[in-house]
């Protein structure tokens, strides 16, 4: 793949494995084994079976007629919100739990922002009977309380991260500290295309099912395999990478990644990484991150816990730098309004993360013949309280 990772773990200038020695044996074990394991026929069969029977894949590609009318193009929703547990996160969690089993790990840790990855991880741990510890920022635990309860009900232990901004980045720090202290029996299921190599590549492969299906489904709908546009929201960037993956080498397909502008990119309360960030190292990879001149990580802000992250995956940083994908941003207000619009035009209440991607439709200039696929990365049940507060229902 032209835009894939090289043998040293880099995408152009980005990637690598910037980790302390304490994590080296774990990461090296993964690096040596992940491709053999996930390309093994037995693994593929079990992965595909679980995606079909347990997750409910393939997720539909829905032709959103009222949206198409409104925006003057053929808009298709890739319905990851219909997956078991309510988002695309389960695809990666299934893949990594099968991998962890094959590595002989007994204990699973994860970080979570919105709680979707935490729920997905708690779910697969229940399924496989493995111990599960989820790190979550104290602030996120408050704003995503239903997901905290879901994780507990699924048997996971939820540990609050109380350092720094008390959100996703700090939950990730705490999970890394746990992994350092438990180097032998523990697998860390990172939820996005971030972290040291091989995580960005491994997670992208597990999420690539999204675009693999979408290509086939678009052909069924339209007689064409390639759309004009593919759109998705980006925090760390796993649903976007899954949605882009099989279209990357088709240069005619325009890729649009939507970041969270928070209260506005210049407001000081934003998570629009490509606008506000510079190259540096975050959570084990060289990427683009929001930071001070002195190299301290800036605490991001977004109404959406899943996009409230100061970096992006290294492959996204590469796609941004070489202009293979377009990176834009949407404010809290526009996202929440798009969430309401989608609910009332299509009868689908999207996650606030997803609503950022939907809001970008307002800014696009489509031709009537354009086919547009937008990833509906998750459902909005977890965000009802935020929506209710904002709209005063």
Partner 1 sequence: MNRLQNLFHTKKTNLLSIYYTAGYPELNTTVDIAEALEKAGADFLEIGFPYSDPVADGPTIQHSSETALQNGMTVHVLFEQLKDLRKRVNIPILLMGYVNPILQYGIEKFCKTASEVGVDGIIVPDLPMYEYEALYSKYFLDNNLSNIFLVTPQTSADRIRKIDELSNSFIYLLSSSSITGGSLNVSTNIEDYYKRIKAMELNNPAIIGFGISNNATFTKACEYASGAIVGSAFVKLLAEDNYLEKIPAFVKAIRP
- Known active-site residue 353: no
Give the distance between the most distant pair of CA atoms in the chain. Answer: 56
- Burial (CB < 10 A; 0-12, 13-18, 19+), residue 389, is exposed
Among residues 10 and 229, whose Cβ is nearest to partner 1? 10
Q: How far is the CB of 24 from partner 1 (least distance, A)?
A: 7
Among residues 281 and 340, whose Cβ is nearest to partner 1? 281
Among residues 163 and 267, whose Cβ is nearest to partner 1? 163
- Known active-site residue 65: no
Among residues 153 and 184, whose Cβ is nearest to partner 1? 184
Q: How far is the CB of 36 from partner 1 (least distance, A)?
A: 19
Q: How far is the CB of 312 from partner 1 (least distance, A)?
A: 15
Q: How far is the CB of 350 from partner 1 (least distance, A)?
A: 31
Among residues 79 and 286, whose Cβ is nearest to partner 1? 286
Among residues 56 and 164, whose Cβ is nearest to partner 1? 164
Q: How far is the CB of 48 from partner 1 (least distance, A)?
A: 34
Q: How far is the CB of 224 from partner 1 (least distance, A)?
A: 44
Q: Which of 111, 174, 213, 259 is catalytic?
A: 111
Q: How far is the CB of 241 from partner 1 (least distance, A)?
A: 23
CB neighbours of residue 310 within 10 Å: 25
CA-CA distance, 257 to 241, in Å (whole number)?
Answer: 9
Among residues 160 and 326, whose Cβ is nearest to partner 1? 160
Q: Which of 211, 334, 377, 382 is catalytic?
A: 377
CA-CA distance, 194 to 377, in Å (whole number)?
Answer: 17
CA-CA distance, 115 to 201, in Å (whole number)?
Answer: 22
Binding site for partner 1 (CB under 8 A): 8, 16-22, 24-25, 163-164, 169-170, 173, 176-177, 180-181, 183-184, 278-284, 291, 293-297
- Known active-site residue 111: yes
Q: SS3 letters for the chain?
A: CCCCCCCCCEECCEECCCCCHHHHHHHHHHHHHHHHHHHCHHHHHHHHHHHHHHHCCCCCEEECHHHHHHHCCEEEEEEHHHCHHHECHHHHHHHHHHHHHHCCCCEEEEEECCCHHHHHHHHHHHHHCCEEEEEEEHHHHHHCHHHHHHHHHCCCEEEEECCCCCCHHHHHHHHHHHHHHCCCCEEECCCCCCCCCCHHHHHHHHHCHHHHHHHHHHHHHHCCCCCCEEEEECCCCHHHHHHHHHHCCCCCCEEEEEEEEECCCCCCCCECHHHHCEEEEECCEEEEECECCCCCECCCCCCCHHHCCCECCHHHHHHHHCCCEEEEEEEHHHHHHHHHHHHHHHCCCECHHHHHHHHHHHHCCCCCCCEEEEEECEECHHHHHHHHHHHCC
Among residues 48 and 279, whose Cβ is nearest to partner 1? 279
Q: How far is the CB of 271 from partner 1 (least distance, A)?
A: 16
Q: Which of 78, 89, 215, 382 is catalytic?
A: 89
- Take residue 280 and report the two structure tokens written for it: 């540096």
Question: Catalytic amino acids?
Answer: 89, 111, 377
């Amino acid at each position: 793949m032209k835009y894939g990772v090289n043998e040293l773990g880099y995408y152009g200038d980005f990637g690598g494995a910037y980790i302390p020695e304490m994590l080296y044996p774990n990461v090296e074990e993964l690096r040596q084994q992940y491709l053999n394991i996930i390309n093994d026929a037995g693994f593929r069969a079990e992965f595909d079976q679980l995606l079909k029977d347990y997750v409910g894949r393939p997720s539909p590609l829905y032709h959103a007629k009222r949206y198409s009318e409104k925006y003057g193009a053929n808009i298709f929703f890739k319905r990851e919100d219909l997956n078991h547990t309510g988002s695309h996160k389960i695809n990666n969690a299934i893949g990594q739990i099968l991998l962890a089993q094959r590595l002989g790990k007994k204990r699973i840790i994860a970080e979570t922002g919105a709680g979707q990855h935490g729920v997905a991880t708690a779910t697969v741990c229940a399924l496989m009977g493995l111990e599960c510890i989820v790190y979550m920022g104290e602030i996120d635990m408050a704003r995503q309380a239903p997901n905290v309860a879901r994780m507990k009900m699924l048997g996971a232990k939820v540990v609050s991260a109380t350092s720094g901004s008390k959100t996703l980045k700090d939950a990730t720090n705490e999970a890394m500290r746990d992994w350092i202290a438990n180097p032998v029996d523990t697998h860390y299921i990172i939820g996005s295309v971030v972290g040291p190599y091989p995580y960005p590549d491994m997670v992208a492969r597990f999420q690539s099912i999204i675009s693999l299906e979408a290509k086939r489904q678009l052909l069924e709908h339209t007689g064409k395999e390639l759309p004009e546009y593919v759109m998705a929201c980006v925090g760390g960037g796993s649903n976007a990478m899954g949605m882009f993956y099989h279209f990357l080498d088709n240069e005619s397909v325009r890729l649009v990644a939507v970041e969270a502008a928070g209260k506005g990119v210049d407001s000081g309360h934003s998570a629009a990484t490509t606008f506000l960030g510079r190259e540096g190292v975050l959570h084990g990879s060289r990427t683009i991150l929001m930071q001070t001149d002195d190299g301290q990580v800036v605490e991001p802000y977004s109404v959406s816990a899943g996009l409230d992250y100061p970096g992006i995956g290294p492959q996204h940083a590469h796609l941004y730098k070489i202009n293979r994908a377009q990176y834009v941003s949407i404010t809290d207000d526009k996202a929440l309004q798009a969430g309401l619009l989608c609910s009332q035009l299509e009868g689908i209440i999207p996650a606030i993360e997803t609503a950022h991607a939907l809001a970008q439709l307002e800014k696009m200039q489509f031709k009537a013949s354009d086919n547009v696929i937008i990833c509906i990365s998750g459902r909005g049940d977890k965000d009802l309280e935020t929506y209710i507060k904002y709209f005063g229902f």
